[in-house]
Amino acid sequence: MSFVALTWMNCIRRHLLPKARFLHTLQVLQSEQILMSPSLASLDLPDIWTPNYSCQSSPAILKSGNEQTAMVLDGKLMSTEIRSKIADQVRQMKKCLGKVPGLAVILVGQRKDSLTYVRNKIIACEEVGIKSLVTELPTDCADADVQNAVMRFNKDPSVHGILVQLPLPQHLDEEKILDALCLEKDVDGFHPLNMGNLALRGREPLFTPCTPKACIELLIRSGVKIMGKKAVVIGRSNIVGLPTSLLLQRHHATVTIIHAFTENPEQITSKADIVVSAAGVPNLVRGNWIKSGATVIDVGTSPVEDLSCEEGYRLVGDVCYEEVVKVASVITPVPGGVGPMTVTMLLVNTLDSAKRMLNFT
Amino acid sequence: MSFVALTWMNCIRRHLLPKARFLHTLQVLQSEQILMSPSLASLDLPDIWTPNYSCQSSPAILKSGNEQTAMVLDGKLMSTEIRSKIADQVRQMKKCLGKVPGLAVILVGQRKDSLTYVRNKIIACEEVGIKSLVTELPTDCADADVQNAVMRFNKDPSVHGILVQLPLPQHLDEEKILDALCLEKDVDGFHPLNMGNLALRGREPLFTPCTPKACIELLIRSGVKIMGKKAVVIGRSNIVGLPTSLLLQRHHATVTIIHAFTENPEQITSKADIVVSAAGVPNLVRGNWIKSGATVIDVGTSPVEDLSCEEGYRLVGDVCYEEVVKVASVITPVPGGVGPMTVTMLLVNTLDSAKRMLNFT
């Protein structure tokens, strides 16, 4: 076996691939294939972060006795402003055409956080006059059931946006289901063609994914300069980290993407002017990860059990807020930062889609 | 006008957008649009680098009196090995099916470098038994002429790969022409759907663009570890820089993309374990840009006038070779590094396409 194959074996072993997949990879390496590069999907590994659950301030930060320096961005307030403009345009559309934008949501199973998210989206639609439809399917439904729901909404002319609430139960084929979604109604922007058009300069996606779009709008509205700045995105999920990095690059930031295999991530983040954290790991980003005066956007929303809350849990971000608020110059809170702005971007995408389909300007 | 709009104006002015486009952008900012985020295509700016034409060693490097330390990767030798395996499989295909893979090339105009590249591809096809077809069109041809050529090859069952030699003359609509190309024959992998599938974890593009694929294959064959390493890609072109960064990320490197708007790029590159330079700027990457022991892949191929050469010009890379060879541990030369491997990857993609279409394993 070649040196390279051995190196790969060690990499794979170290990250504990299931034995069957490991042996398959090994077989491929030993066979008479032309190239040594493996298939990309065979490379995919889960990003497993070491969580920090408690956010006890580090001695250095405590000793410094610094007070809060960061401006806290109010995502709710910004959303109110934007949603009032959306409501105006929906009213105009109704007046001129007798029609309103329609958003269809497909929800599979009973995940608590998904239920909350879907409810928030529906309420937001109602507030601005967008019609919403929800199809709820049981956890054990088949691929075909979800695909049929997608197809029905694809054909429905009163629906201008469709979203399948992720994550889906493990037994379902997410790729196949998302591929069935009509491109013109893909308001989440998760289709690979949309992602390609987001990545490629000179091109424009039909829809920009909502959370990345929310991050950029938060930055622009707060007067944070992006062009030429060092931006670090923590996490590389298909729905947040990846598209956020692509979008920041289209805005001419110098972008680095950090993931669970990155060595010494804090060395990289501490050089950044803008940090967007989307790892989904509570308290991952400590005070010493952040350069003094940096902008910190916290996308993380992990449910943590809290019996004092009505729902029995509360959402916490990736950022150790009490430490970072003393170091950064701009910060978003969780909740009340990126979350409401993400829902707002979904409303914008749905409105834009209706305007495009109904040829309404 | 808001603070943000003013900031944008300054950014746009500083980078000298044409006046009409500048005024249009301004109008958009002033209008009653819902979001402040501009359209992505309106953000696109050319990457203008300050070139360094001469590569006189910096005093520090000269004083150190270092000798060459880097292993020089021989792209020609690696290619010979891979191409001999391709030729074997083409022979087998001919024996079993009576068919060989076919590659169609569309060349518009008479650019000297494009003519050389196309000639090299045709010769490489002949050597491994792949059938090649070339359609040459005059510089002043219309979009429809190129599209018709694409369509003809789309329908031709003896053609398994089509490539439109880039860059096209300015008056042609590159996006429209590339979009006309049948996805199953897009051996260059430039279609946005391919790019999306390259970016998204869990997905697999039909074709990985040839130069990025060549870089990865060079790294793997040289035993350079990618996973967990800091990689910097210099340049963010749609055909090299962008897909290379995406591919390195799929291989679990921590990737930073540097472009012409990056401040102090040498500070970033000098921390990297792997540097892939694809800016197309001779001598951009100096010895002090590189960490001792790093791996340097030079994708740059700029034609520089040289009357002592048969063609009247020679190709030079982005890397100041005589400086960097003393600092790096692995380096690719220009010519003879990434270039021949890129042509080899085109042969691999064409063979793979034929195998897929003819259901030959």
| Angle ∠(A285,A121,A141) on CA atoms, nearest 5 | 95
Find chain B residues with C-beta within 8 A of A86's C-beta: 34
Calculate mean pLDDT across residues B31-36: 74
Strand partners, B61: none
Q: Give me the pLDDT at residue B305, please.
A: 87
| B positions 267-306 inside 8 Å of A (CB) | 268
d(CA A91, CA A212): 27
Active-site hit among B121, B131, B185, B326: B121
Q: Which residues of A247-271 are buried (b: 16+ CB within 10 A; e: fewer)?
A: bbbbbbbbbbbbbbbbeebeebbbe
Locus of tokens 């032309």: A34
Cβ contacts of B174 on chain A, cutoff 8 Å? 202
Residue A56 in domain? no
Asked whether A348 and A82 are in contact (CB, 8 A), the reply is: yes
Q: Does B11 touch chain A (CB under 8 A)?
A: yes
Q: Residue A65 domain-assigned?
A: yes
Same domain, A137 and A279: no
Residues 321-350 of B with CB under 8 A from A: 348
Whether residue A52 lies inside any domain: the answer is no
Per-residue CA distances from B80 to B71, B124, B187 (Å): 19, 10, 20
Contact B291, B267 (CB under 8 A): no
Pick from B4, B40, B82: CB nearest A250:
B40
- Spatial distance between the Cα atoms of B178 and B106, rounded to a whole number of angstroms: 11
B188 is catalytic: yes
- The residue from A188, A298, A318, A352 that is catalytic is A188
Distance from CA of A263 to the nearest CA of B (A): 6
Q: Which of A65-79, A321-335, B159-173, B325-339 has the lowest mean pLDDT?
A: A65-79
**Given CB atoms, is A3 within the 8 Å cutoff of chain B?**
yes
* Together in a domain, A138 and A27: no
Assess whether pLDDT exceeds 50 at residue B26: no
Q: Is the pLDDT score of B16 beyond 50?
A: no
Q: Highest-confidence range of B50-54, B312-316, B321-325, by mean pLDDT? A: B321-325
Residue B171: which domain range? Answer: 92-181
A344 assigned to some structural domain: no
Question: Which helix (DSSP H) or strand (DSSP E) does residue B59 occupy?
Answer: helix B59-64
Question: Does residue B52 belong to any structural domain of this protein?
Answer: no
Could you give the ipTM of this predicted complex? 0.87
Active-site pick, B89, B131, B165, B186 = B165
> DSSP label at B168?
P
Angle between helices B75-97 and B112-128 (to 10 degrees): 50
Domain annotation covers residue B123 = yes
B250 and B169 assigned to the same domain: no
Beta pairing class for B295-298 and B330-331: parallel
How many A/B residue pairs have CB atoms within 8 Å? 181
pLDDT tens, residue by residue, A157-195: 999 999 999 999 999 999 999 999 999 999 999 999 999
Shared domain for B173 and B237, answered yes or no, is: no
Asked whether residue B148 falls in the same domain as residue B241, the answer is: no
CATH (domain of B169): 3.40.50.10860
| B302 and B331 together in one domain | yes
What CATH number is attached to the domain comprising A275? 3.40.50.720
Contact B135, B106 (CB under 8 A): yes
Please report which helix (H) or strand (E) contains residue A250, including its range: helix A241-250
The angle at the Cα of B291, spanning B290 to B292, to the nearest 5 degrees, equals 115
Domain match, B24 and B68 both: no
Q: Is the pLDDT of residue B113 over 90?
A: no
B164 and B104, same domain (yes or no): yes
Nearest C-alpha of chain A: how many angstroms from B311? Answer: 33
* CB nearest A221 (choices: B36, B228, B247): B36
From residue A139, give the alpha-carbon distance in Å to each of A112, A125, A190.
Answer: 13, 25, 22
Q: pLDDT at residue B20 above 70?
A: no
Closest Cβ opposite residue B34 in set A82, A254, A258? A82
User: Two tokens at B81?
Assistant: 């090995």
pLDDT digits (tens, 9 = 90+) for B43-72: 888 888 876 666 665 555 445 556 778 999
B189 close to A (CB below 8 A): no
Which residue in this structure is represented by tokens 């930073």?
A: B256
Are B204 and B232 in the same domain? yes
The pLDDT assigned to A16 comes to 42
Q: Are residues A183 and A216 in the same domain?
A: no
C-alpha B275 chain-centroid distance: 14
pLDDT score recorded for residue A233 = 98
Of A163, A188, A213, the residue at which a domain comes to its end is A188
Q: Is B143 in the same domain as B28?
A: no
The domain total for chain A is 3
> For residue A299, what are the contacts with CB-CB under 8 A and spacing of at least 6?
A211, A215, A235, A240, A244, A276, A277, A278, A317, A318, A338
Residue type, B67: E
In this structure, the answer to whether residues B335 and B202 fall within a common structural domain is yes
Structure tokens at B289: 């840009």
